[in-house]
Chains A and B, each alone.
Chain A
Amino acid sequence: MMLEVKTLKKKYGEFTAVDGISLHINKGEVVGLLGPNGAGKSTTISMIATLFKPNSGEILFEGENIVKNPKVIQPFIGYVPQEIALYETLSGYENLKYFGALYGLSGKAIKEQIQRISKIIGIEDRLKDRVSTYSGGMKRRINIGVGLLHNPKLVIMDEPTVGIDPQSRNHILETVNKLKSEGISVLYTSHYMEEVEAICERIYIMDHGKIIADGTQEALLEQSKIQSGMKLKFEKPVAQIVDQIKAMAWVTQVQILDEYEMIIRSSGNGSSHKDILNALMAMNSGLISFDIQKPDLEQVFLHMTGRGLRD
């Protein structure tokens, strides 16, 4: 096991930011940490990155307690903070060189590493320009590059795709997949559920300082027992038929989206969808189209916490 966190607790005065959480990351595993603002994600990450000391609990890196001896993990951790942690008046190259130097890289080694990393993050041609002249996406990429310079075993990425264009986001997700293929472990936090679904093998969901669920995406969906739904579109206003639909035996929930659209959830499986469709056809409802909606992490999160990820 690369990293193991045991009953970690962090308090600020009377407020408990992290309340006895436990988690682990295996070698070469990409693990997602999900939670709304104030859930305790950043505090957890900061404790793993040795920036904060917990009030109680243990953090073990390859079996050694880093709370007592932070130097055990520091050379092997790549930290990508949520903010663009770069010197804007320096060039991308100067930034990479400086942070690489803090990890003891110098001379030929650092030049080679800068070349390698700049290829991975796709920013080779702008390295000599000042960071202040970069787009948001380029800054994010350099921000990640800095965390990868010293070949870390564990990379912590705190919301690395906030506020960037789709192209840069895709590039970052590809970078994470590359890291995974090289056997590097990644702890990834994000507000974007689709990112977590795309790259994370396991997910921890945090709320109010606690981990409220964890597992693979499938396991989380299974745990949540959220029903799949059907998005229906009619040629006439849904208000005329909504009562008849609610009266159907299999229907457990009706959500009206607009004048002509609604989502219905049923207690059964695929066969209940077929039964509902048949019933709608029989009642001459004016159905134009339908779309089967499988439950996703967003719904799991909403179901478990009662609020959206971006709330």
Chain B
Amino acid sequence: MILKMLKKDIAVLFSERKSLIIFIIMPIVLTTILSFSLKGTFQETGKFNAFKVAIVKAYDSEEDLSYFRTKLSAYVDFDKVMADQNNMDFEKVFFQDFLENEDVKSIMTSVVMTDEEAQKALLNDEIVAIFYLPKGFIYNQLINFTMPYRNEIQIRMISSSEHQYASQIAESVMMSYFDLMNEKVIQKNVFIEVGASYLDTQDLFAHLGEILDNRVENPNSGKMQATAGMQIQHETISGEKAIDSFTYYSIAMMSMFILYASGYVGRALLREKKMQTLSRAAVAGVTKVKVLVSKFLMTLILCMVQMSLLLIYAKIVLKVDWERPLMMAIGILFSAIAVSGLGIFISAITLTRDSYKVANIFETVLIHIFALFGGSYVPLEVLPSIVSRVKFIALNSAVLDLFLGIYKGVEISNLLPQIGMLTFISILFSSLAIWIVSKREAQDYA
């Protein structure tokens, strides 16, 4: 009997042109418009609240200083140089003068972590990027400031592809520091001024020639490049694909528009009650639970068809490269299950209250709130941080996170929180729906 009801529900759905436009055409149109119009915002910096980065120190400042002392003592009185040059304490310059600067902190805060802690924090979205300060970080800066040539300092940066804006800003902030340093080094005045203070002119140039011939050894790579300076090598989390606007909005719009299926099913059930077709079904012995199961399955199919079509459209027209069909199918299934649970819950309330108000409020107000809080309109990182903290209220947020994770190549084990959340939503709302209609008499649903 449920299958017969399901077949009828699907026939009714596909006979209603207006519904099909809302479910299929509107998300396609909006995805296309938003993808193109907001394309730039996924590549350029914007306006942000302060975000957090992790600093992982691969160097030992004491060791670097000691090494530098050994190298430089051959040419100058090291202790004397360091005592007279307060600004050559690069540990202090970088961490206190630069990172603790109020202007920098208004954009980006930082915390020193171990590699393991930083990786975990990045996966948990607690930070937007990790900066690895390499071995010899202090030593190379000292060399660059005191010698005529520069050692290469390669800063490795890892960011989450979900935080395109923030990670690019973090990279720019760091670059501003290194650019400043590079500029000073290029002038070479530091070396000359320092050298001139402690060596006589003859010795200075004699040693300079020797340095030019031997080059200063980098304790990390053992190499030095005359033209090298400080650089940031930016990577995303290993194996992850970057998210562009087409990818983002095809998922974001999909996660929003599947919510309309919930509103549709809520409205459809009350409409059937008012048409008395539900009465007819009840007289034929159709129980309340069977009606709900039928509506659940109808929403499930509607949602799965809707999502599949939107993803196919994104692949063919917007050239979004979905690479994991099995994972996509799992994502579609669990998303549809959650939407179906929510749908029959709205149905139950709409039906027992005998008013379209509930479905109307859901469609005209709640879906848009969910869309905002769940990141369907704009990525959450551009909104106040409070929005990110309450995103769990929005079903579409879990769908969005799940599909972004699938797209980026995240392992299924790391997507279990999203899958679990969607399953929980489905079970919770389905149970509530059954409870609501069960405590009512037949006339309340028919």
Contact = CB atoms under 8 A, between A and B. Distances in A.
Contact of B11 (A46, A51, A83, A90): A90
A89 B443 contact: no
Contacts of B12: 87, 89-90
B14 to A, nearest CB: 9
A259 to B, nearest CB: 48
Most chain A Cβ neighbours within 10 Å, of B283, B284, B286: B283
B357 to A, nearest CB: 22
A146 interface: yes
A167 B442 CA distance: 36
A87 B11 CA distance: 10
Contact of B280 (A70, A75, A85): A85
A78 to B, nearest CB: 9
B116 interface: no
Contacts of A87: 8, 12, 275, 277
Given A52-B441, A87-B12, A102 B281 contact: yes
A71 interface: yes
Interface string B9-32: 001100110000000000000000
A272 interface: no
A79 B441 contact: no
Given A90-B11, A146-B280, A51 B446 contact: yes
Nearest to A147: B280
B157 to A, nearest CB: 57
Contact of A102 (B11, B274, B286, B441): B286
A24 interface: no
Contacts, number: 74
A103 B283 CA distance: 10
A31 interface: no
Contact of B442 (A51, A85, A99, A101): A51
A274 B160 CA distance: 107
A51 B279 contact: yes
A286 interface: no
A146 B280 CA distance: 9
Interface residues of B, number: 25
A77 B282 CA distance: 12
Interface in A63-99: 70-71, 74-75, 77, 79, 81-87, 89-90, 94, 98-99
A103 B276 CA distance: 17
B285 A89 contact: no
Contact of B283 (A79, A82, A98): A79
A94 B11 contact: yes
A53 interface: yes
B389 interface: no
A130 B274 CA distance: 19
Nearest to A103: B284
A107 B8 CA distance: 16
A8 interface: no
B386 interface: no
A53 B282 CA distance: 13
Contacts of A86: 275, 277
Interface string B213-241: 00000000000000000000000000000
A39 to B, nearest CB: 18
Contacts of B282: 50-51
A85 B275 contact: yes
Contacts of A89: 12, 15-16
A294 B229 CA distance: 117
Contacts of B83: none
B1 interface: yes
A196 interface: no
A49 interface: yes
B4 interface: yes
A74 B285 contact: yes
A51 B283 CA distance: 7
Contact of A75 (B4, B5, B16, B285): B285
A71 B12 CA distance: 28
B443 A52 contact: yes
Interface in A36-56: 46, 49-53
B284 A74 contact: yes
B308 to A, nearest CB: 24
Contacts of B276: 81-83, 85
Given A50-B282, A51-B442, A79-B279, 12 more contacts: A51-B282, A51-B443, A74-B285, A81-B276, A81-B280, A85-B275, A85-B279, A87-B277, A90-B8, A94-B8, A101-B1, A102-B1
11 contacts: A50-B283, A51-B283, A52-B442, A82-B276, A85-B275, A89-B16, A94-B8, A99-B280, A101-B1, A102-B5, A102-B284
Interface of A: 46, 49-53, 70-71, 74-75, 77, 79, 81-87, 89-90, 94, 98-99, 101-103, 130, 146
Please list the 4 inter-chain residue pairs (A to B) with the smallest Cβ-Cβ separation, ordered nearest first.
Answer: A85-B276, A89-B15, A102-B284, A101-B4
